[in-house]
Structures are given as C-alpha cells and as structure tokens.
Amino acid sequence: MFIPRAVARAAATAASIPLYSLTITTTPNAFTGPARGWNSFGIQANAATDPTFTFNQSNVEIQCDALVSTGLAQRGYTTCSLDSGWSVGANGDENGRIIYDDTLFNIPDLANHLHSEGLKLGVYVVPGGFIADENKTILGTNITIGSVCSGDNGLSRCNWDYTADGVQAWHDSVVSLFASWGVDFIKLDFITPGSPDNGVNLPANESLAVPAYHKAIQKTGRQMRLDISWKLARDPTDYAIWEGNADSMRTDQDINNAGSDSASFTAWATVQRAIDNYRQYISLHTSQNEVLSIYPDMDNLYVGNAAPEDGVTDDQRFTIMSHWLAAAANLILGNDLTNLDPTGKAILTNTNALSVADFAAQHPMRPRNPGTGNSNSQQLQAWIGGPDSTGKAVVLLANYGPDLGQGGFNTSLPGVQNVTVSWHDLGISGRFNIEDVWKARSLGVATEQLSTSLDEGQSLLVTLTPAE
C-alpha cells in the first residue's frame, strides 16, 4: 500500500516509546462526537454562584435560551441537561416508572420548548427501582418490583437483580416514557465499580444498569446519548461494559465547589486532579493501536464566567478548555449562561479551537512527556492527538504550576518555565507547519522540536501539519 511521504514521516515513531494509533469511532448510540451544552448542577451545587437561580422550569429555560441568544447553540452547544431534583425522588407512577415533579417541571413542555429552538433535553437518573414502589407491577408484566429488587442503596431505591425477568422490562418502560416526553440525553449516575459512596450505600457492582439502559434506548428507536458517572473503574472487564453501551463516561469526580460558601464554581487544585485522572484513563490505551468507542466526561466546564466566578485565572480558563477540547471530552458548561464575560465567549466560540474538538473526536490526545515520551504525570507536560491520515496532529504543552495536592506530579516549580518537547518525545518526525490555535497565527516551520515559555497555569495549543 502506498503511503504519502508526509504521512509516513508524521507516523514515524520514536525509537524508545512507539506512538501507536489511537482513535475514537462511532459510539454505541451512534454518535461521532462528544456532547456540548449546559448542565444545571454547577449552579445547584453552589447557590452562591447565582443566588437568583431556583431549580425549576422557568429558570432552566432562561439558562438554556441563553445557549441560543449567545450564539453557543450555533456552535454545537445544544444539550440542555437537568441534574438531580427534576423527578419525584421517593416513588414513581402506578408502574414504578420515574416521573417528573410537576410542582417544578412539565418535562414534555420543556422538551417542546427546547426542540423549537434546536436544542436537546437531558435528564439525570440513578440506578434502582423505588423502595416505595415494591408492591407495584412492572408495566407489561405481572411481576412486582419488590420481587426482583431489594435492599436500600441509600438513594430511596432498591437494587435490581439484573438476571431476573421483568428488570429489563422496567428499564424499557422508563426509557420509553422518556422518549415520549422528548428526552435526548440520559445521565446515569452512581455507577459502580468506581463511584464513591458519597454518603450512600451503593452495591459494589452496579455495572449491569448500563446495558439495561442502553438496550432500553435502542428499543425506543429514538437516538439518545447515555452518559455514565462517576470516576468509573478502568479495568478491561468493566471498561468493556462502559464502552459497549454508553457514549461517554466520567473519568473523575465532580470538580465543582459543591456546598461551598465561595461564589466560585471550581478551583485549580480540583482541575489538576481532573486532568490527571484523564491522563490515567487514556494512558491505559496507548501501548498498542486501539480504536475506542466512548468519549471521556471530565465533568462540567467552568470557563464561561469571569475568572473570580469560575474560580480560576483567565490563563487557567484557556488551559482548561484546551484540555477538554483535545481530550474529546464532553463540552457541557456548568456556568451561569446569562452572565458570560467576553473572555468566556471567546473561549467557547473560537473557530480554531472548536476545529480541534472536531479533530480530537476521532484523535484524542495522550501524554508524551518532554525528555522521555512517557505518560507519567508531570508539572511540565506534553500531549499529542493524532497524527491523522494526512499527517496532521494536535499538540498541547502545559505548565500546571505547583501541585496543589491532587495533580499527581508532586513538584512545585514556581513561575515561568521553559517547556520543550522533541519530535522524538512525541513519537513523530519530519517538517511541520506550526499554528497557535488560540491566536490563529503561524509559529513557522519546525523540524525537531516545539518550545515555549509558560507561566503557572498557562498552556500552548498548536496544530502540526506536514510541510513539504
């Protein structure tokens, strides 16, 4: 087979650590890119970020309408996702199906409102049937919930016996109801192995909830995303379940300042942890040529409001977005969309940056560290996505600043640092045109390395295209 010279050069590997092909293909529910949009939990978890917000339909519509009025929807940010609290929390309908709290929401009306604007509706669920519904009969069967669901997981729910008749029928009935309302996205939380107990009593293995929801989605004939969370197990057995049934998976815990009195959404220490958890996850898929079929969920994005409200500096906001983009992570905002600042709008709508997201949707970044090409956590870190079939690649250099306790690199280099990564480190060779993504400017042609000076929290995101 003939391989163009530029492609052959770009695909050449370093002698010590080969750069294997890593791509993402169509997900189980037929998506070819991660979700973009907004989720309510950032504001719900820390009311100080928007004291005027009450979790109900009118306030959600205000936030989601802002996806359109700010121009975000036109750039693919179309999912409007309700987090916990939209449903009746202790019981379902006459067949034990999950129903909305009609004192707060009319879900079919909300779906119609969103769909009329070109938006999509997401809802939040947790595993199990309602304990209070144990005497109710599963729709289409003569099986009671209590005969196939027992115990208490701490979320007012019993634990399904996934081998029993009727359990899939319950999931089918719930998702069919969602489909009739117009739901487009399901966030399935508290999945184990992985999810911390967080004060509840989760079963050690709740993995079979994922294929149950996937099968139910398939039966509706309606395309819905299935996002599962949180900090899920990465071993081959469990990962095969996630990848075979879900469209995205949470690689870390929540990064919001939940319950804090601070009027900020997140903190740089937590972001360092989220980046390191993505590094741990993706590094498991770099020792051979591999095709993935699931996108990472690094949690909600907090880059849209002014730096004090986001809880990070402007440099860190750009660095966060660069990592979420190049990782092919969900771009689900948790911000107050009615209060985006100019920098936030520029970050979220930058055409060059969003083209990186499109590239990464098939070619996610993985770590190739300066000086070694390995994948361990470092304060001065390098990443590469691709090369694709044309030889194009995306490279991200970062100075995360001193480890604030969860970054995984345990160093404290202060101030501006030089970050230099060689083609040997990255696993490529040849001459490349280098373009700074955020500044949309050429950095010239390079043949051996990429070098830059970065202050704490800064990063450089570039594209490499073969230069003949």
Active site positions, annotated: 189, 254
- Report yes or no: 292 and 22 within 8 Å, Cβ to Cβ: yes
407, 413, 417, 419 alpha-carbon torsion, rounded to 10°: -50
Whole-number Å distance between alpha carbons of 172 and 321: 37
Cα–Cα distances in angstroms (integers) from residue 263 to residues 153, 318, 336, 351, in the given order: 32, 20, 12, 30
Q: Which of 232, 215, 233 is nearest to 224 (CA)?
A: 215
Nearest to 303 by CA among 7, 72, 64, 31: 72
Query: Distance (Å, rounded) from C-alpha 127 to C-alpha 189?
Result: 7
Measured distance between the N- and C-terminal CA atoms of the chain, rounded to whole angstroms: 21
Q: From 274, 280, 295, select the one nearest 36 (Cα to Cα).
A: 295
Residues 341, 205: Cα–Cα separation, whole Å: 43
Could you say which DSSP state residue 134 is in?
T
Cα distance between residue 300 and residue 427, in whole Å:
32
Alpha carbon distance 87, 181 (integer Å): 13
Could you give the C-alpha distances from 276 to 25, 267, 311, 406, in angstroms and in order? 24, 15, 19, 8
